[in-house]
Chains A and B, each alone.
Chain A
Amino acid sequence: MLNIKYQKYILSFIFCFLFFGCSSKKEFAKPTITVWHWMTDRKDAFQELSRRYEEKTGVKVNFELYAPSDAYTQKVRAAAQGNTLPDIFGILGEMRDFASFIKAGYVEDLTPYMEENQAEWKERFFKKALEVNEFGPDNAYGVKPGIYGVPIDIMTIQMLYNKRLFKELGLNPENPPQDFSEFLNIGKRIREKGLQGLVSGWAELWMIDCLANNFAFNIMGKDKVIKTIKGEIPYTDPDWIKVLTLFKEIKEAGLLYDGIVTMVNKTAEQIFANERAVFAFNGSWCVNVYRGMNPNLDYAVMLPPKVSEKFPRSIWGGAGSSFMVNANSKLKKEVIRFLKWLTDKEQQIFLSEATFNLPANKESLTQIHPRLAEFADDIEITTHPRIWGVSEFPRVIEAFDKGIQAIIIGEKTPEEVAREIQEIKEKELAKKRSQKE
């Protein structure tokens, strides 16, 4: 009797288990998209967008934050090796890192999605924002031509000046220096008033590289810069020596903040925000940084001064942050749908308002912070090493940037630095040639 009683319970339990526990949830369950990102500043904004998207489509999007960016990079590399990459992720680093992920088959080619419906998705973006995610025909990395990333925001790196200090120097704050000689002349006034000139994080070598390349593009044009990287023109060329000499002239004019070569950008931002420097060289992200440090700071954005009339000026910029789609994701269609939604005008405006970053969608520019708009105005003249199609050897870049530091502190002459860079360049080229053989 007892056994029969228990049998009833057991059968009821099995029935309930089969009915509730094993009923196909898959039919009703909406997929969950996983996104790995490193953007701590955008954490809350992404959560809000995720909520809105789920409300609209029922599709859940998990934004998982892994910061700082160094640790994030390690995680993405490890996950690629372990074949556990999420549906959407970002690749930080140089173009060659990006290329190696694509060649290993981890990143989806987005060109067909970008081109469909009369290239509606592609047309949303600033051309420059897409370029950093694009590999052209015959690229040096051996990657199949196409677009491999979706830009979320853009950035430009420019010069800034403090309007109040400009007035104190007897200058018109609405009329910043246009050419290099005007810029150098301000140095004299700065010295007389006992102020400090240009501040920037030049202990972080890439920032020096950025300004030096701006000057190089203006003096010799893009083609000659690319030819130098390819090894067809030496760094001892008079144009390159002129680029290096500019830093000597800026220093001698008293335009550089004391200790600039050992300064990290965070310190430089703090100094400019506290009105202890007339000029700064910084990226568009600084709008949010200065707002947090000193909301009353009165400043404006200007292009780096023109050195030559021969070639147009260029500044570093393009995509700030981009997302890539996992080529092995089972939710590819949903992922593309979500990324299209994320880069829609409405979401881009929301992201820009919430995080003070420049939107990648060009239609969103009308509704952004005026100071950010100043940075965005010059997006069409931006360039970036990632879009040059060739990469300089890391050792050469290091020698170039450290050489500029040495010129600033008066340790070496521009000619000496140029010779040293060229020596390293030749060694690297020889090494590359021997590897090929």
Chain B
Amino acid sequence: MKHPLYYKTKKITLSILTHLFLLIVVASCLFPLLWMIGSSLKTQQTIFSDMSLIPKEMHWENYYHAWKQGGFSRYFLNSIFYTVSVVTGIVLVSSLAAYAFSRFNFVGRNLIFYTFMAAMMIPIPGSFVPLYVLLNKLHLRNTQLGYILCMINVGLSTSIFLLKTFFDKMPKELEDAARIDGCSKLGIWWHVALPLAKPVLAVVVVFNALNVWNEYVLALIIFDNRNLMPLQVALTTFQGEFITQYPLLMAGLTITALPIILVYFLMQKYIVKGVTQGAVVG
């Protein structure tokens, strides 16, 4: 039997080490964010000479210039429209598909499912040229609909995989009860499966929203009309071939990061639940 002081010291030491480790993790997560905000308040010259996080002179006007020069007003609305449309599309299609893959028996079910999963392995840049040619033939290139459809397609595989794993572990008794109450297949999906899948749906929403919000390469390829471009394209205004306007770029990045941070905070409760509980249902 060891002395109580030993256990107390051990507990305190472990707690200090754990907190120290967590503090390092927090610092490594927050530092880039703080550096970005600090740099957004410097000038092009002080950004290379003043390494402090809080600049001596705050140049708040950088935000105004970034907004004006980058044409953020239009791009912001475009990005919101694309994000909402794509995420809605992904949630609808992937939840229906995942439910069907999980609950219905039909010919070629596994083949189709694994084909979807295989699509996850294809690097997105590898599909740009075929997508461009396809959209061109369908007369959907340089249209918002074309871009939205492509982005829905990009997000489907992972979302279907996440949701199917969840539906597979959902007790069938819940569906049987709903069926006795007169629910159709679509009714069960809407009234039973979807409400239970909220935590996973939150993960799907946040991951895909982040993906759409940060996407710009596909947009650059399929849009010729600059007015249709998403927000990330505005950031390239500040990145020259040889010169980058860092303060404006950092101000622009801060502006673009805000909505997605907001989405994360709003859905944080569900995401944590979704990640930690995973497939614990009912």
Contacts and interface: CB of A to CB of B under 8 A. Distances in A.
Contacts of A82: 132-133, 136, 141
Interface string A199-235: 0000000000000000000000000000000000000
Given A40-B241, A288-B242, A294 B45 contact: yes
Contact of B236 (A64, A68, A84, A294): A68
A270 interface: yes
A96 to B, nearest CB: 18
B121 interface: no
Given A84-B141, A274-B49, A77 B244 contact: no
B236 A40 contact: yes
Nearest to B220: A71
Given A40-B240, A274-B49, A78 B220 contact: no
Given A74-B128, A82-B133, A274-B48, A67 B239 contact: yes
Contacts of B136: 82, 84
Contacts of B207: none
A79 B128 CA distance: 11
Nearest to A82: B136
B266 interface: no
A375 interface: no
A285 B242 contact: yes
Interface in A354-411: none
A350 interface: no
A202 B236 CA distance: 25
Contacts of B118: none
Nearest to A282: B242
B226 interface: yes
A41 B237 CA distance: 9
A41 B241 contact: yes
Interface string B242-279: 11100000000000000000000000000000000000
B54 interface: no
A41 B242 contact: yes
A69 B241 CA distance: 8
Interface in A46-74: 64, 66-72, 74
Contacts of B243: 41, 288-289, 292
A191 interface: no
Given A40-B239, A41-B242, A285-B242, A74 B133 contact: no
A411 to B, nearest CB: 29
A: contact size bracket? 20 to 34
B74 to A, nearest CB: 15
A38 interface: yes
B220 A66 contact: yes
B129 interface: yes
B48 A270 contact: yes
Given A82-B133, A84-B136, A292-B44, A75 B241 contact: no
Nearest to A286: B242
Nearest to A79: B132
A61 to B, nearest CB: 15
A285 B129 contact: no
Contacts of A288: 242-243
A71 B244 CA distance: 17
A262 interface: no
Nearest to B245: A292
B216 interface: yes
A273 interface: yes
B221 interface: yes
Interface string A326-353: 0000000000000000000000000000
A241 interface: no
A158 B142 CA distance: 43
B217 interface: yes
B4 interface: no
Contacts of B237: 40, 43
B108 interface: no
Contacts of B241: 38-41, 67, 69, 285
B224 interface: yes
A78 B221 contact: yes
A67 B232 CA distance: 11
Contacts of B32: none
B125 interface: yes
Interface string A270-304: 10011000000000011011001111000000000
Contacts of A79: 132
Contact of B240 (A41, A64, A70, A293): A41
B236 A78 contact: no
A77 B132 CA distance: 10
A266 interface: yes
A81 interface: yes
A69 B221 CA distance: 12
Contacts of A74: 125, 128-129, 217, 220-221
Among B132, B217, B239, the most chain A Cβ lie within 10 Å of the Cβ of: B132
Nearest to B240: A41
A77 B126 CA distance: 12
Interface in B199-253: 216-217, 220-221, 224, 226, 236-237, 239-244
A293 B48 contact: yes
Interface in B117-149: 125, 128-129, 132-133, 136, 141
A66 B49 CA distance: 31
A70 B244 CA distance: 16
B15 to A, nearest CB: 38
B244 A266 contact: yes
B68 to A, nearest CB: 14
A431 B78 CA distance: 49
Contact of A77 (B129, B216, B220): B129
24 contacts: A39-B241, A40-B237, A40-B239, A41-B240, A43-B237, A67-B241, A69-B241, A71-B216, A71-B217, A71-B221, A74-B128, A74-B220, A75-B221, A78-B128, A78-B221, A82-B132, A82-B141, A266-B244, A288-B242, A288-B243, A292-B243, A293-B44, A294-B45, A294-B48
Given A74-B221, A288-B243, 13 more contacts: A40-B236, A40-B237, A40-B240, A64-B226, A71-B217, A81-B132, A82-B133, A84-B141, A270-B48, A273-B48, A285-B242, A288-B242, A293-B48
Q: Which 10 A-B pairs have the closest CB atoms?
A: A78-B132, A41-B240, A82-B136, A285-B242, A40-B240, A71-B220, A67-B236, A75-B221, A78-B129, A71-B217
